[in-house]
Amino acid sequence: MIDVHADAVNEGTTVIIDGQVSSPLHPGDRVTIRRFDSDLLLVRNPLYARWYKLVTKMHWGQAPTLK
């Protein structure tokens, strides 16, 4: 289980669940992530580097910019 506490957020910061459900995130909010009972099989595209989508689409590896 992972707990994420929102100490500081930008206006309009939103939590998106499974790419479908969204909810605004406010200072002091907590998001809890738990493992699902079933496994998930992912298919790797050999034309892209392993982390390509995470870095380019989700901006992984970049520091957050707080206002």
**In whole angstroms, what is the distance from residue 3 CA to residue 30 CA?**
7
**In whole angstroms, what is the distance from residue 32 CA to residue 3 CA?**
4
Rg (CA), the chain: 15
Average pLDDT, whole number, for the chain? 86
Tell me what pLDDT residue 54 has.
78
pTM above 0.85, yes or no: no
Mean pLDDT of 28-41: 91
More confident site: 51 or 22: 22
Tell me what pLDDT residue 46 has.
85
State yes or no: pLDDT of 23 exceeds 90: yes
